[in-house]
Structure 1
Amino acid sequence: MENQSVSEFILMGFSVGRQEEILLAFLFLLIYVTSLAGNMVVLLIVLVDSRLHNPMYFFLGNLSVLDILFTSVISPQLLWNLFSDNKSISFSGCMAQSYFYFFLGTVEFLLLTSMSYDRYAAICRPLQYHAIINGRVCIQMLLGSWLGGFLSVLCPTIMITRLSYCKSNVINHFFCDSGPLLNLSCTDTHFIELMDFMLSSLIVLCSMVLTLVSYMYIISAIMHISTTTGRAKAFNTCATHLTIISITCGISIFIYVTPSQKETLEVHKVPAVLTTIVCPFLNPFIFTLKNDIVKQALKEALRRGKELIAQKNVGDWRKKTTV
């Protein structure tokens, strides 16, 4: 990707001093490393433990993959800018970061909506669940989420790369968000803003409405469960997913489902930190702490790991004593 008007951008980042930037850099580095480790653990448990080979954990494993990719689009560049005080990013790097941020974010919305349909089928249609949500359907929903994200973001990104950036090359953000990029263009951006608004509204609001409809049926079905234990188990299964999609939808509506993003750029930095850095960090821990099967699988994996280490140490000791 090339642009005749600008070759690189400067990411302004946060309006703090140099010492505060270093502190933020260490904090974000800790969160990023922990996020990668937590999501990798969840993914490995889902792959290894046969009890988790069902649609619910299939989607959970894919959500962990998305969180790893999503936070990796923003965090490495942000950490480099904070640690080195070199805030520049090439034009092609900026466009790629913007594209993958919105692409992966859209895929996550669609995937969370698929997970709500899975929970609806499991609780409201338990006898037909395996016929409704089988392996083929899971793959179709997953591919549909990735294809939907790819197509919905491609056209606006191409249009943004064609803009003329003659006002400045300083982006008032810590990553290449669409609003700050549009704010720098001296080309008329009303059509792109309208397209962004329509696509964001369609994806976010439709995901939220479909999820709410699913949970209306789910709550109605749960209230008809006769035992208190059964109701608590059903609520516990759905609470984690509902919490995550509520946080994600709320932040995205605040940032992107507005007719114009130019007037509120400074206000968007804090919620952007939540959605790009904090949420991928929290997701694996929320799922692990709220799900008894995942906790049990994790405990057993740790126990097996300790046993293997102990056996290796005994074997090494025997070799030394034999020699």
Structure 2
Amino acid sequence: MSQPNGTYAFYPGCSMGVSARAYDQSFRRVAEVLGLEFQDVDDWNCCGATEYFTLNRLPAYSLVARNLSLAAGMGKEDLVAACSACYLNLHKTDSYMGKYPDLNEKVNRALAAGGLHYDPGTLRVRHLLDVLVEDIGYEAIGEHVTQPLKGLRVAPYYGCLVVRPESNYDPEYPTHLDDLMRALGATVVDFPLKTHCCGGHMTQISEETAYELLRRLLANAAEYNADVIVTVCPMCQLNLDAYQSEVNRVFGTDYHIPILFFTQLIGLAFGVAAEDLGFGAEIVPADEALKKIGQEEAPKPRTPRRRDKKALPMPPPLS
């Protein structure tokens, strides 16, 4: 294993505690079974997602570098992110600071205002999928399987961020997630659009474009009779799950494909109860998929939490 003691610095990111709580819950249960320890970076801040870098790059890099500096202070070799956008921004910032001395100098000048500093290359930025595949391995993961996902047809969806240049994945046709699902006993279906974009935040800018991108992904999974789409990215999961009904409305389709996090399926195969893996939070019910692998009673969907009246008002729609 890369970390002799199985301990990693972990960058949670914003979505893991809100829209992707099932991801956070399931990944921590899986880590517990595998004997891995993830220590959250203290006082972390938002990575800027994909938008901030298009607005003002120096502050964007500086904000991300702040997280790198805080993580470096933990004395760990690896910094792990489960969110693909967080992973990309952390990896990119570390890489660019190392490649461009002028950027490195400016970013560290900004960090110095807060009493921080970061030397690029101090940390190895990694995605959670990479840790499970490279440090644990398919065989060892398979040894923990007590309830194989036999008969479950899975479409592995990587999205466009985790396979960007300089990652450990083949950007055209990655197979890490495919092979991991096979190690759990699942049937992996062909999914040619496995690295195509889900639209990201395009749902807030151009619904027509966003829904078409989502329709293509759902159609591709349906074409190969997938029972579920499994993903490694909170944004991909949110878009395909939350807007699936809108895709059906706009295009007259009838897709009902559950969108799950890969750690949820790992947990099920390890024998962890569905309710302990965040099931029930998904909008498109996973009941039928769970029944195929012997989970007779799926957790009931949670009642949506009402917005606090004292909370800040929602911004007006773009004109």
Normalized against structure 1, the TM-score is what?
A: 0.26
Return the structure number with greater strand share: 2
Return the structure number with greater helix share: 1
Specify the structure having the higher radius of gyration (Cα): 1
Normalized against structure 2, the TM-score is what?
A: 0.26
